[in-house]
Chain A
Amino acid sequence: MEHQFRINLQGIIDLLSNNLYGESRVFIRELLQNGVDAIQARSQLIDKGADGSALGDSLRDNDINFGHLKIELIPGNSGSLPVLSFVDDGIGLTEEEVHRFLATIGQSSKTSNLWKARENFLGQFGIGLLSCFMVSEEIVVITRSARSEDAPTLEWKGRSDGTYKIRVLNYSIEPGTQVYLNCKPGCESMFELDELITNLVYYGGLLPYKIEVISGKKRQIINPEGIPWHQEFPSETKKIEYLLEYGKKTFDVDFIDAIPLRSKIGKVDGVAFVLPYAPTVAQNPTHRVYLKQMLLSEKAENLVPNWAFFVKCIINVNDLRPTASRESFYEDEKLQKTREAIGDNLRNYLFHLHRTQPDRLRRVIQLHNLSIKAMALENDDCFHMFMDLLTFETSKGNMTFGEYRRSTDQIRYVTQLDAFRQIAPVAAAQQIQILNAGYVYEEALLEKYQALHPDDELQKIQPSDLSHDLEDLSIEEREKSHHLAQLADVVLQPYHCMTQIRKFQPDDLPVLLTIDGEAEFRRDLDRSKEVANELWSSIMDHLSPAASISTYAQLCFNYRNPLVKRLISIRDKELLRRCIEMLYVQSLLLGHHPLDAKEMKLLNRGLLGLIEWGLNQIPMKDS
């Protein structure tokens, strides 16, 4: 024998409200949706009539004027809780439809192929109405179908325990549907006028049909202006002013500018607001997206290009498919093209600024350097237009790429922040200009520049490369300092450090220590190895193939420095060794490089040795 599953409605409602709906105010969205759908359906009914089919013929004359949603709030008093009614003049329901659609969970009248433009409906699952049970124990629906003139007025009462009653009323209402909700204890806030208006504006502010709230003598239209960016304005300036005001009203942010958006693909339009601050990654702007003028999501994430984090958008979409989670759209070529079109809108805006208000553009670029960098990387036109305007750090301070390029014959850059810090002061003292490309996107931008300008020779340098630019010694100088050079190499070899002697500014700097990226990694690794247990220490030994030259640090002695000159004159090998070691350790410390155990020992031994040596000098002088 076969049985039918029984469903515990309360259980389902709890499930939906905890998992699907998230917050109880979505019942407003669902009721608005159903009202809008009903009006849509009714107009399709009439169109059908116009097509010559039998349906609707008799209705046409008196039904031209509909498309109105009324929401009435009857506040509670000491004895009673408030009541809310949603009234539409849409298609209504026949008795058979009430049983089939209203009273059957998961059944929707909107999925049938009989509809001419079924994709115009917002509802599709047949569960929206259930959300009303989150705020009301009972849903009362009074409805009269617009399909025939003699359709009866019906009353349906559904309860959250899963039972419902239906009866024919003995009076007649205009075609349409009225939904009544009695406030459930604990849900009073949803039935407060201010809250109600806020929520209606939130979900339905852009809807195409008139939505009116009534409470006592108060009446207010929720969407008096329709879609803000569709309105006519006497001038472009007025339009932008209006949109900025709308942005302020909606997000409470004083945006810098408003950019109209439009894409034929996906049937998308809207506004992008330029943020007055540079967003951090943690607060990457989210966008508000409407689907057919009904709010879909507050944080839609894949409609706008990745690089466009200088704007916050409000967008209405007519022809893209939302995913089940309703937080993004289905990824396909159509979506990608839509995204590109939105990207084009944003780029064109900046191009336009470039032509008409270069100062303004400069300010936007300064504020949104990171976003514009990402954008220039993505698109060649943007690159040509903006690269010169982007700010970089150089050994001569911050300047735009254009300024930098004009001030030097050779573009030289480092790609690591630490590398820049090591060499910038010395480079500056030699009048060598080095660009810091260690921040996000910068290295890729310079590579792109090179690719687009193959005749400009760009040079990516490591800190140790700087020594090539420092003045070489003459033959005599080299001969004179030969023993220092030789000893220094031998002494510092165990510390993975090579040495050189050059002449450079400033004179009072005895040595320049440079540690390239690979060498830095080796130092970090060695520091871990010192403490790590046997297993991990041996694993680290095998992490990459044997140490190469690139893992060496480099110590460059300054021949101009008086101390170094005196070192050269020292013949006492032991003393010279100590001095070399101490210069090495000291430059590590100055560069904030942690010392490993060997270097620490060097420091201690060196200090003691020097003290001892100093003390030894005293009696010798005395005697």
Chain B
Amino acid sequence: MMKSILDQINSIIEQVNKLPNGNTKIELMEEAIRLADVHQRPDIGFDLRDQLMTVATFCGAPEKTLVAFSWCLAQCDQNPEEFDQLQLLWKYKWVVSSLKYFPHIRLDQINQAMEDMTKRYQGCGLGLRPVYKLACEHAMARKDYPQVKHFQRLWRSSPIGSGNDCAACERDSQVGYYLFDGDIDRAFKAAEPIVTGQMKCGEVPHVTLPQLLVPLLRRKDYAKATHYYFWATRLLKYNPDFISEYGKILTFLALTGNPNEGLPILEAMLPAVMETKALSRRFYFQLGTSLLLHYLQESGSEQISIRIPKELKDLLEKDFAGASGAKEIDKKSISLQSFIQWVDADLQRIATLFDKRNGTDAFTRNIEDSKNDRELFCLIPLKAVD
């Protein structure tokens, strides 16, 4: 006898529940979804996609969330009796937020998505605060100052409805806004409940701490910076969802002269960085990588020995070997010069994609700003020799 489809799906879900978030979990969920689709069970497919969205979002696969979401939204529209839109709308925030990672999605499409979200949130009485917050964040990503101010005002003056982010996430966004605005004091004030542990959730303080590292260096509060560094690395656990955050960690390590702490992170995260479709995340990671590699080069290194994904290795050998004096890349170590060239070209390439889409120079300026951060350099030995 063939196992019934429900049994098959249940046994997959059972496996899934035992796993930590990660690719394996995503793949198993997708397999279950395919089974449901083959057997034309949209009801099961809906629930499974709902779960997939959570896993994919927190494992750094936002494109999979988006695809699952579109499918679910369509089901709700076509069969409002059968499918509960409310449950789905909570996740609309994740999806709209993720649109900023993909440079090929047009601005007008993003705006339309936000309009659609507005309509649906209003229709269900969820409140528009989270929509304004998202709009503000999108504007920040492209450094559109008037729009940032406009939406920030709307965001902070709208009531907290039932569709709102959790208090910790909301607080984290406020910290992000003050940092963007250059109001460092208020950023730290706002971060207080997060860094004292009063406000926390699945991703806070994980995403908050890395944001504060460079500002702390700027304030010369090295003790706190070190503490936050240790705390953050303990929480982030090389999760591909935190690619941008790791970029900030790398920046911190470069600015404090700790390449030996940085290289293992580079090694662990590069496969995810190469794989991600979320290009802006890759961009923020590469900002840190670039600083770290330049630091190494300036302190006299020519080769580094870290493990890099095969496709990157091929690339370095093929396209970036020339300028390094045709130095052979041996099996263990790679030429710093070609690595740097690749990273900087990658940064430029991604920046151009986004700037073209946005009609601004925000990303190119990010590269400049990041270079200027080098003046914050201060040697802080993190691993005292014992």
Interface residues of A (CB under 8 A from B): 280-282, 302, 306, 323-325, 330-333, 335-337, 416-418, 438-440, 443-444, 447-448, 450-451, 454-455, 460, 520-521, 524-525, 527-529, 531-533, 535-540, 542-545, 589, 592-595
Contact = CB atoms under 8 A, between A and B. Distances in A.
Contacts of B43: none
Contact of B38 (A302, A443, A594): A594
Interface string B53-92: 0000000000110111111011101100000000000000
A417 B226 contact: no
11 contacts: A332-B227, A333-B226, A336-B234, A444-B268, A521-B64, A528-B67, A537-B70, A538-B109, A544-B63, A593-B38, A594-B37
B318 interface: no
B4 interface: no
Contact of A533 (B67, B73, B196): B73
Interface of B: 17-20, 22-24, 27-28, 30-31, 33-35, 37-38, 63-64, 66-71, 73-75, 77-78, 99, 102, 104-106, 109, 112-113, 116, 196-197, 226-227, 230-231, 234, 237, 268, 271, 277, 307, 309-310, 331-332, 382-384, 386
A333 B384 contact: yes
A450 B308 CA distance: 11
A542 B71 contact: no
B205 to A, nearest CB: 11
Contacts of B74: 528, 531-533, 536
A302 B234 contact: yes
B27 A418 contact: yes
A241 B24 CA distance: 39
Interface residues of chain B: helix, strand, loop or mixed (majority): helix
Contact of B66 (A280, A443, A454, A539): A539
B381 to A, nearest CB: 10
Nearest to B39: A594
Given A417-B28, A532-B74, A540 B104 contact: no
Contacts of B73: 532-533, 536
A286 to B, nearest CB: 16
Contacts, number: 141
A544 B19 contact: no
B109 A535 contact: yes
Contacts of B28: 417
A319 to B, nearest CB: 16
B31 A535 contact: no
A544 B332 contact: no
A544 B61 CA distance: 13
B66 A540 contact: yes
Given A281-B20, A417-B24, A418-B27, A531 B104 contact: no
Contacts of B332: 451, 454
A447 B272 CA distance: 13
A121 to B, nearest CB: 23
Nearest to A455: B331
A592 B38 contact: yes
B116 A281 contact: no
Contacts of A447: 271, 307, 309
Contacts of A444: 268, 271
A444 B275 CA distance: 14
B22 A440 contact: yes
Nearest to A546: B104
Contact of B227 (A306, A331, A440, A592): A331
B331 A454 contact: yes
A331 B307 contact: no
Which 4 A-B residue pairings sit nearest by Cβ, starting from the closest? A594-B37, A331-B231, A536-B70, A454-B331
Contacts of B386: 337
Contact of B71 (A281, A531, A593): A531
Contacts of A543: 63, 66-67, 102, 104-105, 277
Nearest to A537: B70
Nearest to A522: B67
A545 B106 CA distance: 12
A306 B27 contact: no
Given A306-B234, A440-B19, 7 more contacts: A324-B196, A332-B227, A332-B230, A418-B30, A536-B73, A539-B66, A542-B106
Nearest to A536: B70
Contact of A448 (B69, B113, B307): B307
Nearest to B30: A524
Given A539-B109, A594-B38, A333 B67 contact: no
Specify which of B34, B68, B112 lies most central, judged by the most chain A CB atoms within 10 Å of its CB. B34
A46 to B, nearest CB: 36
Nearest to B72: A528
B238 to A, nearest CB: 9
A595 B38 CA distance: 7
Given A447-B271, A536-B74, A594-B37, A544 B307 contact: no
Contacts of A331: 227, 230-231, 234
A208 B78 CA distance: 69
A442 B28 CA distance: 15
Given A454-B331, A524-B30, A532-B71, A542 B230 contact: no
A198 B309 CA distance: 55
